[in-house]
Structure 1
């Protein structure tokens, strides 16, 4: 499958190239330029990131040329998938973009784009960029070679062995923030948060677009429950590179804990838009909102899920809890009654029904349920309290 073996050199003339762009004429134009350059002997075309992934799973590819902005799956999302796959992650990638703004530069650094090429593309610019990328892939700088070894040691959880190699990578390229943030990653995974913080701060000071370091500093302060600092660093990371779902979720959770519910909602909706599995993400967000007391926000997320999956009892139960928490007893009742029909033995659901009926002064309905609950659990303190209140 995928990428070449580690020891295999990429031959400019014989290499296999994947071209990914949602505009078919652009794919064909790039292929024509490559033929003029006499670069590559095998070309595969894809109209979006998902199609590209299917090709990468089936065929060996030496170089990918990917458009930044595509429907279905963007260039960055495709690149993230490539870098997360052990068999594909070292494949050189050239990203094509209409502009080189700070967000693109930051995401290029974070996702390890080998190069990016500005539109309109010329034969000369394409040729020069490919030559540099393939030369670097065939003869990587010492720091890159060392960092790949460090990466393998981190994945094997051999953190103490990774540290001296990472120090060598820093010495090999002292002006780059990448080996420094990698040292931060080692200590973060060792759960030495103080040392991790020191290295990530140093990396961020060296490179004000090192979004990876800002993100991890946010994680560190969140672990320490320092919400103000976590907020500050997540916000910096989001401003630099807003298209990262996990970062957005963490940032949104911090916003919720700080009581900034409206802003958290905006961040969450952006994350949902970027997510490949929006319903699963909505459920996670809704549960977070429910647990932090943002009940109306939770209701919004769970209602969206309920419309698509109306038979899910767990979602109906969460909706009932959220509505009960906002004193919207009629809505809570409607969900609880539906659940009780499907699951007449659910003790918690009937306890909630009884509590609502007691609060609404519907004495006889409450009494009927409470008597059944008392027979099931005579020692239950909440049942006893509600019986006394219902008298």
Structure 2
């Protein structure tokens, strides 16, 4: 059974088994010897299967399996381009085919012991010659075993654990020579935390047949769950000693060593797996690449990541490409690295905005390092425009994006451009002292202490002037001198054209003057700056203004936008509560 039971996967598995039982399945025979291939195809057809495909090697067979959605594979052990064992590992690593029935055909030699060592992953093995009666009997055994396992797993996953254990225990009694019922009992007991009973069943299997290598790995996993990593490693190493092509043992060794912080030996374990032919697992290549990157072995890491993409091209595409690009850049392959990063930027979806941002920043930084300042400027200017992002969703507030770009410029020695972006960042919210401090600390850490001080001095002067305009406007409004108040606010906006608060003040002033159209124009400008700067309080004030005018649809939409940007603030919640009091159905939809 899988370590993580998924009911949908189990139902798909049962459907696949039914197709095989009804002889409606697509079958593939993979054998490099033409005569033997023909005999196997004829045998399969004699069993009642009509859709039988054939391939001369593992590589061709894998393509046909995907093309025809095969449910059953009869595979020779020794073939050119890709052995049966390598194909088995590839198949078990593919989500759509991990549960297909896989029958290995071997010669009377050491191959049998190797295949028996990985029998958890292969459904059965047959020694040549193969006839219809032998294959039919084995296939019926597989169908019975798989169906029993799947139905017990469904019971276990639905909370009926004791019923599943009882059913599998009954099968074990009826089939005292079979190992698979004991293995399934052991795994179910382990999953329910009863490790002593699980270990007892696994030890029973080893007493009957010491060549069942996968049991050693399962015993090791139990020891790990009990907190005894050293004992686990001993079991894993015994598994490899018994069968150096049982690649899953290398994986669990690496993971156990990593849990101890031993990256060096974890890398060695995976390198040994690769040397012994264990290159066909995307997950193994991924972990291998991570460890190589820690060692700054960028060329090998790039190769491992590209192999992982070849094995599972639709999985973790963006993260893998991003790391491939970093490997290229570290090797001095700047143009190739930029090309891969541009693929990331183009293909990133809305929920991958952070990855798109990181790729874009790295492209800009690479252009700067290459002396292509104009290309870097173009890239950075695109970043700060909301319409260039999928769904106009920027992953960070605009002021933060500007600050980040400023940091990239400063890292590459472009002090003038860095100063410009830092200044623009602070201008978006003059009251954000933390932003100003962060810029100062960063500039100081890179050896530019005067930069932060100069920006802070300029901003302090601007803030004082803007605050004076805002205060003057407020006083004039209280006196009823509305025209003079507008002039005061306009003067403040000329000093700081990004002040969402001043736009809001003007909007409220137009509301007092009963000029609703102009009021809402300024409210929308205030909202624009509030969302861009993630100023929850300002966004809430705009929403409340619309609510006061009984504009429930616009109020709701503003609150939805705040929710999409994760602007969870007491002021926002307060407006939601007010909306719910006025329009219960609308408010409930937002809180729900």
User: Displacement of 1:266 after TM fit?
Assistant: 1.4
Ranges in structure 1 where 5+ consecutive residues have no aligned partner: 57-62
CA positional deviation for 1:175? 3.5
Q: Distance in 1 between matches of 2:116 and 2:303?
A: 21
Post-superposition offset of 1:351:
1.0
Q: Does 1:248 align with 2:285?
A: yes
Question: CA-atom RMSD, angstroms?
Answer: 4.7
Task: Select 2:181's aligned residue among 127, 140, 145.
Answer: 145
1:335-363 Cα distance to aligned partner (Å, 9 max, x none): 32211124594333211332355565563
Q: Deviations over 1:48-80 (max 9, x none)?
A: 223554x65xxxxxx54358889xxx6654444
SS of corresponding position for 1:379: helix
Partner residue, 2:234: 198
**SS of the residue 1:125 aligns to:** coil
TM-score, length of structure 1 as denominator length: 0.71
Does residue 163 (structure 1) correspond to residue 199 (structure 2)? The answer is yes
Shift of 1:148: 2.3
Task: Spell out the pairing of 1:185-224 with structure 2 (5 A cutoff).
Answer: 185-224=221-260
Name the structure 2 match of 1:59: none
CA spacing shift, 1:308–1:247, aligned 2, 3 Å: closer
SS of structure 2 residue aligned to 1:48: helix
What secondary structure does 2:250 align onto?
A: helix
SS of aligned partner of 2:219: helix
Measured after TM superposition, the shift of residue 177 of structure 1 is 2.0
Structure 2 counterpart of 1:378, from 433, 457, 461: 433
Taking structure 2 as the reference length, what is the TM-score of the superposition? 0.50
Report the count of equivalent residues: 360
Distance 1:144 1:328, change over 3 A: same
Q: Could you list the per-position Cα deviations for residues 356-377 of structure 1 after superposition, in whole angstroms to 9, with x for gaps in the alignment?
A: 55565563x5444333433422
Q: Return closer, same or farther for 1:383/1:108 CA change in 2, 3 Å cut-off.
A: same
2:269 is paired with a residue whose SS is: helix
**Could you tell me which residue of structure 2 aligns to residue 60 of structure 1?**
none
Judge conservation of contact 1:317–1:336 (CA < 8 Å) in 2: no
Deviation at 1:192, TM superposition (A): 3.6
- Cα 1:361/1:319, change in 2 over 3 Å: closer
Show the counterpart of 2:342.
306
Residues 201, 213 of structure 1: 8 Å contact kept: yes
Report the Cα distance in structure 1 between the residues aligned to 2:283 and 2:271, rounded to whole angstroms.
13
Match of 2:3 in 1: none
Q: Contact 1:302–1:319 (CA<8 Å) still a contact in 2?
A: no
Q: Write the distance in 1 (CA, Å) between the matches of 2:44 and 2:358.
A: 58
8 Å contact 1:283–1:301 — kept in the other structure?
no
- Closer/same/farther in 2, CA of residues 270 and 282 from structure 1, 3 Å limit: farther
State how far apart, in whole Å, the 1-side matches of 2:204 and 2:140 are: 22
Residue 113 of structure 1 corresponds to 122
Match of 1:336 in 2: 380
What secondary structure, in the 3-state scheme, does the structure 1 residue paired with 2:74 have?
Answer: strand
Change over 3 Å in CA distance of 1:126–1:306 after alignment to 2: farther
Aligned with 2:303 (options 266, 276, 296): 266
2:103 aligned to 82, 89, 94, which one? 94
Q: CA deviation at 1:388?
A: 4.7
Per the alignment, in what secondary structure is the counterpart of residue 94 of structure 1? strand
1:95–1:116 CA contact under 8 A, matched in 2:
yes
User: Can you list the C-alpha shifts for 1:23-62, whole angstroms capped at 9, x where unaligned?
Assistant: 9x99987443334xx4x23433467223554x65xxxxxx
Does the CA contact (< 8 Å) of 2:406 and 2:421 recur in 1? yes
The answer to which of 109-118 and 188-197 deviates more is 109-118
* Change in 2 beyond 3 A, CA 1:15/1:338: closer
Taking the aligned partners of 2:302 and 2:423, their CA distance within structure 1 comes to 42
Of the two structures, which has the highest relative contact order with CA contacts closer than 8 Å and spacing of 6 or more? 1
1:1-391 matches, within 5 Å, as 18-20=26-28, 30-35=40-45, 38=46, 40-45=47-52, 48-53=64-69, 56=71, 64-65=73-74, 76-81=89-94, 88=99, 91=101, 93-95=102-104, 109=118, 112-115=121-124, 124-127=129-132, 130=135, 133-134=138-139, 137=142, 141-156=177-192, 158-240=194-276, 241-277=278-314, 280-284=316-320, 286-287=322-323, 294=330, 303-304=339-340, 306-307=342-343, 310=346, 312=348, 313=353, 314-321=355-362, 324=365, 327-328=369-370, 330=373, 332-341=376-385, 342=388, 343=394, 345-357=397-409, 360-361=413-414, 363=416, 365-375=417-427, 376=429, 377-380=432-435, 381-385=437-441, 386=443, 388-390=449-451, 391=454
**Contiguous gaps of at least 5 residues in structure 2:** 1-10, 54-62, 145-174, 389-393, 455-592
Specify which structure has the higher proportion of helix. 2
